[in-house]
Amino acid sequence: MNRENLVNYFEQLFKFALWSSLIGVFLFITDFGFIKSLKSEQIVLKYYYFVLIVGIFSTIVKFFYRFQEYKKTALIFDSFIVFFTLTILWNRFVNGYHFAFFDFLKYDLIVKFAVVFTFLREFSDLKLNYKRTSINPAQLFVLSFFLLIIFGALLLALPKATYNGISFIDAIFTSTSAVCVTGLIVVDTATYFTPLGQYIILLLIQLGGLGILTFASYFAYFFRGTSTYENQLALSDMNQSNKLSEVFSTIKYILIITFSIEFFAALFVFFSFEKNMFPTFYDRAFFSIFHSISAFCNAGFSNYTLGLYDDRFRFNYPLQFTLMMSFVFGGLGFSIVSNVLSYIKYRIFAFIGNARNQRNYRPWVLNINSRITLITTILISTFAFIVYFSLEYHNTLSEHSFIGKIVTAMFTATTPRTAGFNSVDLTLLSYPTLVIMLFLMWVGASPASTGGGIKTSTIAIAVLNVYSLIVGKNRIEIYRREVSENTVQRAFATIILSLFVIGLGITFISVFDTKIPLLKIAFECFSAYSTVGLSLGVTPILSLGSKWVLILLMFIGRVSMLSIMIAVFKKIKHKNYRYPKEEITIN
C-alpha cells in the first residue's frame, strides 16, 4: 500500500471517528432528556463503548501520523484521555467491574462523559478555515449567539429538563435570557426546571457569557497548535486583541481569569453559610457554583424562587459582598482586569526595585481604556450608592442593621449594572430610585465584559465630548491622548441606536399589554436591552407578542445593534477624495 492510499485511509478513519462521536453526543443528549426502556439503555451503552474504542484508535493513529505537529499540552491531554478510557474498557470487559481503587469508574455516567470528551477531541482537530469573503466577523458573532439560543431552547424542551413540560415561546425566552446573560424569567427556575434543566441553564450562561466561539477557537488551537490568518483576524475583532500574535494568549487569559474568579467566588459563597442551611452537601455546593457563575457572567439567574431576597440570603452580607465583587469583576471586562493585574504586578516589582535602586522611571502600564473605565465605574457606583442609601434608608433598607444597610446599598447600587440580582423587593422602591435604576441599567457594564448596556466608556466619551464643546475644543483630549473620531462616532451611534430600540420595545409592549403601567414596561425593556434581568414582576404575565419583543431586546442588547447593522449592511470601500467641509446649524 502506497503512502497516498494510507493517508486517505487515515483521513477516512478520522472522519468516521468524528461522525460516530457526534452520534454518541446526540444519544448522550437523548439519554438525559428522554425516558427510555432498560433494553434501549443497554443498546446505547454498547454504542458508547464502540465510540470510545474508535476514539482511542483514532487518537493513537494521529499521534504517529502527525507526530511532528503534536503540541506538548495536546500530547499530555491525549495521553490522559487514552489511559482513562482504556481503564474504563479494561474494567468493563476484562476485569468484570472489580474496580478496587477505581470504584467510581463503574458508573455509566463516566462512560457518557468520556464520549463527550471524545467528540470534543475529534471536533477540535477539524481544519475550520474562516473566510471573510463568505461571512464577516460581525455576522459570525451574531450567528454564533443565534445558533446557541436555538440549541439551548431545544435542550430546555427535553422532557426531563422540566417537571411538566414547557411551551416553545417559554423555552426560547429562557434560552435567550441565559445565553444573553440577562436573567429575566417567564417561569420559575427553581420549581419549573429539574436539576437537568438547571444544569442546561448554567451551561448556557457560561457559554453565553464568554461566547461559544471563545471556547471552540481555543479548543481547536489547543490541539492543533496553529490557526489561519483569517481565523486569527476574526478572533482579534471579537476579543479586542491588540496583536494577531496575542489572540490565543488573550483567549487563554480570559478563560483563566473567568474560571479562577468563579472558583474562588464559589468557595467564599459555600463557606458563607452555616452547615444546616441546606439539606445536603450537594445542594450547598450547587447553589455556590450556580450563583458564582451566574454572578461573574452578570446573568442574575438563581435556583431559588425568591433569589437573594429569600430570608436565608438577604441578611447574609458576606454572600452579598462576594457576589457583588464577582459581578463587578465580570462587568469590568477581561482586558481591563488583565491590565489592572499587570499594573498591580508592576507596582509590586516597582516598589521592590525603587527600594533597592531608587529608580523613578514610570512606564505607561495602566492604559487609557482602563483609566476611563475604572474612573467611570467608580464615579457611577459611588453616585448610585449615595442616592440609593439616602432615598431608601427608611424604606427598603429599614429592616437591616447599619452595616447591613451599607452592604445592601452597595449591592443594590451595583446590581443594575447588568448583574440582575436583587436582595430587596424592587416593587417597594420609590419612584426616584426606579428612575436612577433605569439610568444605571442603560449605562450597563464595561466593554468586552460579560455585561450589557451602552457601556461605561460610551457614556464617558459622550460626557467628555460635551465638555470639549463647552470649553471650545474641537477634539477630545484626556491623559495626554487624543480620542479618535471613529471612537466618538461609535459612541454616539451606540447611544442613539440603544434609545431607538428601547423606545420601539416600550411602544410595542404598551400596544400588546395596554393594562400594564408605562413605568413597569420601560423598566422591563431597559432591563432586557441592557441584559440586566431585574424585574418589577411584569415579565411572567406578558402576552405572547410582548415576550417576543423582550426576546429581541435581549438578543440585540447582547450582540449590540451596531454589530447587527454592520453584519447586515455591506461596507463602502474607502475613496481617495474628500468633500469640502460645511458647518450645520445645531442650535
Task: Work out the average pLDDT over 374-379.
Answer: 91
Joined together, the cell numbers standing for residue 270 give 459555600
What are the CA-CA distances from residue 125 to residues 119, 129, 200, 218, 292 (Å)? 10, 12, 26, 11, 32
d(CA 280, CA 132): 52
Joined together, the cell numbers standing for residue 280 give 445536603
What are the CA-CA distances from residue 234 to residues 40, 118, 133, 136, 237 (Å)? 44, 27, 12, 8, 5
Rg of the chain over CA atoms, in angstroms?
26
First to last CA, the chain: 83
Range with the lowest mean pLDDT among 349-353, 368-372, 386-390? 349-353
**pLDDT given at position 104:** 44
Phi-psi group of 425: left, alpha or beta (phi > 0 → left; psi -120 to 50 → alpha; rest → beta): beta
Work out the pLDDT band at 450, boundaries 50, 70, 90.
confident
**pLDDT given at position 101:** 45
Classified as helix, coil or strand, 268 is helix
d(CA 151, CA 172): 10
DSSP secondary structure letters along 31-76:
HHHS---HHHHHHHHHHHHHHHHHHHHHHHHHHHHTGGG--HHHHH
pLDDT for 502 beyond 90:
yes
CB 553 within 8 A of CB 528: yes
d(CA 193, CA 205): 15
What's the gap between Cα 247 and its chain centre?
Answer: 18
More confident residue, 529 or 105: 529
Model confidence pLDDT, tens digit, residues 74-86: 677 777 777 777 7
Mean pLDDT of the chain: 81
pLDDT for 176 beyond 90:
yes
Residue 162 phi/psi, 5-degree rounding, is -130, 165
Model confidence pLDDT, tens digit, residues 203-214: 999 888 877 656
**pLDDT given at position 434:** 92
CB 284 within 8 A of CB 273: yes
Location of C-alpha cell 481569569:
257
DSSP label of 400: S
- E strands present in 120-217: none
Among residues 260, 262, 322, 332, which one has the least CA distance to residue 294?
262
**pLDDT given at position 317:** 92
Q: What is the sign, positive or negative, of the torsion defined by CA atoms of 276, 277, 278, 284? A: negative
What are the CA-CA distances from residue 388 to residues 77, 147, 576 (Å)? 51, 39, 53
Name the helix (H) or strand (E) containing 323.
Answer: helix 317-332
d(CA 380, CA 389): 14
Length of the chain, in residues = 587
**pLDDT given at position 122:** 75
Angle 76-213-287 from CA coordinates, rounded to 5°? 80
pLDDT for 229 beyond 50:
no
Three-state secondary structure readout of 154-165: HHHCCHHHECCC
Residue 481 phi/psi, 5-degree rounding, is -135, 150
Classified as helix, coil or strand, 193 is strand
Model confidence pLDDT, tens digit, residues 392-430: 999 989 999 999 999 999 999 999 888 888 889 888 899
d(CA 291, CA 288): 5
**pLDDT given at position 555:** 92
CB 294 within 8 A of CB 301: yes
Model confidence pLDDT, tens digit, residues 534-577: 999 899 999 999 999 999 999 998 888 877 887 777 666 666 77
**pLDDT given at position 356:** 52
Name the helix (H) or strand (E) containing 420.
Answer: none
Residue 61 phi/psi, 5-degree rounding, is -65, -40
Percent with pLDDT over 90 in the chain:
32
CA dihedral (310, 293, 175, 231) in degrees, to 10, reads 170
pLDDT for 226 beyond 60:
no
More confident residue, 59 or 173: 173
Task: Work out the average pLDDT over 339-343.
Answer: 79
What letters, b where the CB count within 10 A reaches 16 and e where it falls short, cover 26-58?
Answer: ebbbebbbeeeeeeeeeebbeebbebbebbbeb
Among residues 88, 82, 15, which one has the least CA distance to residue 49?
88
Q: What is the sign, positive or negative, of the torsion defined by CA atoms of 525, 529, 533, 539? A: positive
Phi-psi group of 307: left, alpha or beta (phi > 0 → left; psi -120 to 50 → alpha; rest → beta): left
Location of C-alpha cell 464520549:
115
